[in-house]
A and B are shown apart, each in its own frame.
Chain A
Amino acid sequence: MNEMTSSAGRQPSQVRKRPLLPPKFVQAMLAGHSALGLAFAALIYIVCLTGTLSVFLHDFHRWEQPDAPLASGPIKTEAIAEATRAGHAQAVADNVAQDLFLFLPSALSPRFLVTYFNDAGKEGEWVADNDGRLVTRVVSPWSEFLAHLHMELHLPRTWGLFIVGLTGVALLSSLISGLLAHPRIFKDAFALRWGRSKRLQQADLHNRLGVWALPFHVVVSLTGALLGLATLIIGVLALAAYNGDSEKAFATILGPRAAVTEEPAPVPDVAPMVASVQSKAPNAELVAVHYQRIATSGQHVNLTMRTPGHLAFGNTYYFDGNGKPLGDGGLEVGGIGQQILGVLQPLHFGWFGGLGTKVIYALLGLAMTIVTQTGVAIWLSRRRDKGLPAEKWERLWSAVTWGQPLALAACAFASLFIGEELLVVVYLAVTLATLVLAAGVREAATVRRAFQGLSAVALAAVAVLHFNRWHGLASDPASAWIDGSLLLAALLFALLAFQPNGEATRNQAAKAAL
């Protein structure tokens, strides 16, 4: 809901005589921008808010189980072999032996993780110690809930991915139309005017936050849309060029797939494979190991190995069950398409650096969330300025804006007691309750304050309860700094709740001035 606000307070002589874009074109773009923003506002807001939190997904995993071991040094080849053996044995015991992943500790997460899954969707995840022994099963209902909400909205996977992908497209489209509806983009690039009118204030915030982080917004929405729509696009491509076989189409870009067979075979050791990669790329470090169809004669091993200086997690090197090299994915230094594939996820989530990068991504993600929030708020203010206040929609938007942090905080609180499946019920119940309560209140400001206050209480309760549960038991520092961050967030929400109603103050001051 972009607005051209620059002429505010300027003399006619100062106003640009020949605008960069014709006013008629700008008005048409504004109309399209408003319609699209309003249609997708709630979805974009939820995806942006959960995306901002998802930047810290690995840290939330650690916070939920702060007694799980962290890697205390380099992982040796013996530990990799032991983790493979133990992980496979556990997968067999759980009746999920098909694909096995080992994730070695990195800047992203200092844990040594062993994960297994099968085509039926069953999976298991363990934290291993430095010797590769499985220590504890990963239990992280909040992190899993958050990830599935951001990526699939807890809908059936195919539909969820498509709707989130479509939301990414809508966001990208809003960026395009917003840019074209902003002819004084340079002149107004530094204008941030508080206090005059709510609409001008919101428009300035919307435009400044949107414009100055435009490359970030474009990259995140584009990569998100692509990740969400990949199944649909590849499905159509498969119809056109792969006889409808999507697996084959995916294999073209994701590398060779293991043959499906039940014939047993020994699990190959990765050490010679790592050595063979390092003979060509001496700086390459092992990041992850993926055994496809483990312990069968058709098995494959994919090694993810990173060389310094790239944004990608690493390059993937393919080996058959006998350790014979089958090529690599070129994700670091291959063709442009391969390199794009390599950076999609790291660029989307900000997972190409350490904690500092994640904090920057979270700040810019929060900016994107505020841009979405202020977009609808501008439309509502415009209605009010025209003497056509949409009070019901004002309350509803307040309920979405401030009810979602409350719903997420309530889920984090509930996750201390219940599993992921029930968290969806808690989320839906709180979301529904916020909307119903908002319908029964007279003013949007009351809705805002109530949910800000409740969010503050919920966040503080999560921090206190988590600290109380893990005090003296937690060995992971993530436990303390996330509890501290939750308390800070609670304080911020409390301050917002006790902030005077800006619009009422403005109206009173305006009346007094008259």
Chain B
Amino acid sequence: MIIAGTPQATRSAALCRDQKDRGTRLAADLREVQSQGNVPIHTPSMTLLVICAIALIVAGVLLLRASWRGARRHNLIVAFGWLFIAASFVVMSHTMSAERAAAYGILAVSLAAYAIVAISSEVRKPNSRSSAQLSLEPEARPTNWKRAIAKSLLAIVLAGVAAIGIGVAFAVAMPMGPHDRIVIGALLVPILWGGGMAWTLADAKLGRATLILLAISALSYAIAFLPKVLAA
């Protein structure tokens, strides 16, 4: 360890200074752009393109609204709506990279749709008609504490065990680079766990869900741990 103020620390600082001189070219000096970070450089033509992209998104969402809110659905209008939205992404990608255009495009569609929904919201007169008559009700099921605990164990524990098993099996066994198989395998876990939760909570047959999840767990952990077992 170097202690501050000791000869070692002084020597270290001196070494830093020597090496620093050799690297002067680098930063011209860590250019000014650095302090601007991710903020893109704007020009009038780029601003115009961004405005065009936003207009395309708004037009696309309005077309979707025109079709979906109408008495009849017009597939051509729906197709044009999505086409306008897709075109906006292309236009936006001329002002920034494709990955940033996709991210900002998705955010812009959400905001545009929110705005259009808010503007076109209806204020209706209150009535006495119970809204219970107006909507589909969740399935009525007999339930008790034992069943609730069993469902919780299925959805949280067993679905989680199975999802982690599949993710780890993917990370161990897929013929990909280590980064790809580990990260994609890890990403699969919350997706599969979430899907498993949704399924087990919706499925009234607990025995069926238990058996399927146990089978998946056994298979996935066998794939994940087999190389280690064979090597031992």
User: Which residues of A are interface residues toward B (Cβ below 8 A)?
Assistant: 3-5, 7-9, 14, 23-24, 26-36, 39, 71, 73-78, 80-81, 84-85, 88-90, 92-93, 97, 104-108, 110, 165-166, 168-170, 172-177, 180, 186-187, 189-200, 203, 208-209, 212-213, 215-216, 221-222, 225-226, 229-230, 232-234, 236-237, 239-241, 249, 252-253, 262, 264, 266-272, 274-275, 278, 285-287, 295-296, 306, 308-311, 323, 330, 334-338, 340-341, 347, 352-354, 357, 360-361, 363-364, 367, 381-382, 385-386, 505-507, 509-511, 513-514
- Give the docked Cα–Cα distance between A5 and B186 (Å): 37
Chain B contact residue count (CB 8 A cutoff)? 117
Contact, CB under 8 Å: B180 / A337: yes
- Give the docked Cα–Cα distance between A106 and B33 (Å): 9
- Give the docked Cα–Cα distance between A336 and B179 (Å): 8
| Chain B nearest Cβ from A7, distance in angstroms | 6
Number of A-B contacts (CB under 8 A): 409
- Give the docked Cα–Cα distance between A381 and B84 (Å): 39
Which chain B residues lie closer than 8 Å to A226 at the CB level?
A: 186-187, 189-190
Contact, CB under 8 Å: B24 / A271: yes
Which chain B residues lie closer than 8 Å to A174 at the CB level?
A: 198
Which chain A residues lie closer than 8 Å to B151 at the CB level?
A: 35
Contact, CB under 8 Å: A199 / B131: yes
| Chain A nearest Cβ from B171, distance in angstroms | 5
Give 1 or 0 for each of B115-130: 1 = CB within 8 Å of chain A CB.
0111011111111111
| Chain B nearest Cβ from A192, distance in angstroms | 4
Contact, CB under 8 Å: B201 / A35: yes
Contact, CB under 8 Å: A213 / B1: no
- The 6 lowest CB-CB distance pairs between A and B, nearest first, are A271-B23, A309-B97, A107-B37, A32-B201, A106-B37, A269-B19
- Give the docked Cα–Cα distance between A92 and B35 (Å): 29
Could you list 25 A-B pairs, sorted by A, with CB under 8 Å?
Answer: A28-B203, A29-B202, A74-B32, A75-B30, A76-B29, A89-B4, A105-B34, A172-B193, A187-B73, A192-B117, A194-B124, A196-B124, A212-B113, A225-B194, A240-B172, A241-B224, A268-B15, A269-B16, A271-B26, A272-B22, A278-B26, A287-B34, A353-B104, A506-B126, A510-B126
- Give the docked Cα–Cα distance between A155 and B133 (Å): 44
- Give the docked Cα–Cα distance between A135 and B103 (Å): 37
Contact, CB under 8 Å: B179 / A253: yes
- Give the docked Cα–Cα distance between A353 and B99 (Å): 13
Partner of A106, one of B34, B187, B225: B34
Give 1 or 0 for each of B126-153: 1 = CB within 8 Å of chain A CB.
1111111011111101000000000110
A130 to chain B: closest residue by CB: B35
Supposing A106-B38, A237-B172, A240-B172 touch, asked if A190 and B65 sit within 8 A by C-beta, the answer is yes
Which chain B residues lie closer than 8 Å to A335 at the CB level?
A: 176-177, 179-180
Partner of A81, one of B16, B25, B160: B16
Contact, CB under 8 Å: B127 / A266: no
Partner of B23, one of A200, A272, A386: A272
Counting CB contacts under 8 A, is B155 at the interface? yes
Contact, CB under 8 Å: A197 / B131: yes
| Chain A nearest Cβ from B42, distance in angstroms | 12
Contact, CB under 8 Å: A240 / B22: no
Counting CB contacts under 8 A, is B60 at the interface? no
A307 to chain B: closest residue by CB: B97
Supposing A24-B139, A78-B20 touch, asked if A336 and B180 sit within 8 A by C-beta, the answer is yes
Contact, CB under 8 Å: A237 / B168: yes
Supposing A76-B30, A176-B195, A233-B164 touch, asked if A189 and B68 sit within 8 A by C-beta, the answer is yes
Counting CB contacts under 8 A, is B107 at the interface? yes
Which chain B residues lie closer than 8 Å to A186 at the CB level?
A: 68, 73
Contact, CB under 8 Å: A240 / B164: no
- Give the docked Cα–Cα distance between A14 and B172 (Å): 53
Contact residues of B between 195 and 232, Cβ < 8 Å to A: 195-204, 224-225, 227-228
Which chain B residues lie closer than 8 Å to A5 at the CB level?
A: 131, 134-135
Which chain A residues lie closer than 8 Å to B196 at the CB level?
A: 173
Partner of A385, one of B31, B33, B64, B130: B130
Which chain A residues lie closer than 8 Å to B65 at the CB level?
A: 189-190
Partner of A85, one of B16, B39, B40, B120: B16
Counting CB contacts under 8 A, is B83 at the interface? no
B192 to chain A: closest residue by CB: A169
| Chain B nearest Cβ from A237, distance in angstroms | 5
- Give the docked Cα–Cα distance between A234 and B187 (Å): 12
Which chain A residues lie closer than 8 Å to B155 at the CB level?
A: 36, 173
Partner of A74, one of B31, B109, B118, B224: B31
Which chain A residues lie closer than 8 Å to B227 at the CB level?
A: 240-241
Interface centre among B124, B185, B197 (most CB of A within 10 A): B197
Interface centre among B3, B132, B184 (most CB of A within 10 A): B132
Partner of A200, one of B31, B134, B172, B176: B134
Contact, CB under 8 Å: B29 / A241: no
Contact, CB under 8 Å: A77 / B30: yes
Contact, CB under 8 Å: A233 / B29: no
Counting CB contacts under 8 A, is B5 at the interface? yes
Give 1 or 0 for each of B44-75: 1 = CB within 8 Å of chain A CB.
00000000000000000000110011010100
Supposing A105-B35, A169-B193 touch, asked if A31 and B24 sit within 8 A by C-beta, the answer is no
Partner of A31, one of B30, B35, B135, B141: B141
A107 to chain B: closest residue by CB: B37
Counting CB contacts under 8 A, is B11 at the interface? yes
